């Protein structure tokens, strides 16, 4: 599954862990919590944005829909499917952008271009994309594929030694 994709590690995240990290992000943002609204980068940013918005008592939630992945293949082009119209008028000033992850920065650059004055926050950050966000909770290596709870189902797991081809 990782062959040819550059991923050598998998980092599974449970619903409880994601919720805890979203609340931690809200705590970090609390001092600057006078946001006009939240812009969720969809699809991955939908759940984190909802949790952060709840914790900060922000009622206005917009979405910006981007497509860069094709399965496990990272794209280099961002297709903006829907813009966050309410936040566009003032280039995102006073708005909070929330995404689940900043990876190579391809999506973050496109969103930043549309909303350069917004505060950009993610739950997870990889080294290549980290400089593009203002706030994040957990850094993971560039060669790690994060398995979010919405991408997982309960199945029997193999011991790590078997995943590497046995002993």
Confidence of residue 167 (pLDDT cuts 50, 70, 90): low
| Distances from the Cα of 156 to the Cα of 17, 110, 150, 153, 159, angstroms | 20, 39, 17, 10, 10
In this predicted structure, what is the pLDDT of residue 75?
A: 63
Mean pLDDT, residues 33-46: 93
At residue 90, the 3 state secondary structure works out as: coil
CA 167 to CA 161: how far, in whole Å? 6
Mean confidence (pLDDT) of the chain? 90
In this predicted structure, what is the pLDDT of residue 131?
A: 97
Which residues form the catalytic set?
Answer: 99-100, 103
- The rounded percent of the chain whose pLDDT value lies above 90 is 71
What pLDDT, in 10s, does the model give residues 83-137? 999 999 899 999 999 999 999 999 999 999 999 999 999 999 999 999 999 999 9
For the chain, which residues make up each domain, given as ranges?
14-142
Are 104 and 74 contacting, i.e. CB atoms less than 8 angstroms apart? yes
Confidence of residue 3 (pLDDT cuts 50, 70, 90): very low
What pLDDT, in 10s, does the model give residues 11-21? 999 999 999 99
CA 110 to CA 127: how far, in whole Å? 18
State yes or no: pLDDT of 4 exceeds 50: no
In this predicted structure, what is the pLDDT of residue 1?
A: 41
Top CATH class of 14-142 equals alpha beta
Count how many Cα atoms sit within 13 Å of the Cα of residue 34 in the half-sphere of its side chain.
3
Are 92 and 85 contacting, i.e. CB atoms less than 8 angstroms apart? no
């Amino acid at each position: 599954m990782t062959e040819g994709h550059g991923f050598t590690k998998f980092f599974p995240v449970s619903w409880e862990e994601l919720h805890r990290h979203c609340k931690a992000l809200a705590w970090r943002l609390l001092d600057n919590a006078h946001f006009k609204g939240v812009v969720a980068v969809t699809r991955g940013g939908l759940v984190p944005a909802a949790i952060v918005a709840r914790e900060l008592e922000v009622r206005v939630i917009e979405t910006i829909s981007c497509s860069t992945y094709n399965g496990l293949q990272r794209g280099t082009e961002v297709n903006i499917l829907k813009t966050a119209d309410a936040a566009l008028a003032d280039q995102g000033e006073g708005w909070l952008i929330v995404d689940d992850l900043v990876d190579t920065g391809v999506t973050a650059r496109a969103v930043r271009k549309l909303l350069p004055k917004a505060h950009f926050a993610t739950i997870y950050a990889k080294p290549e994309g980290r400089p593009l966000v203002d706030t994040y909770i957990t850094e993971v290596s560039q060669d790690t594929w994060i398995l979010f709870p919405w991408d997982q189902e309960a199945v029997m797991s193999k011991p790590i030694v078997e995943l590497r081809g046995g002993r």
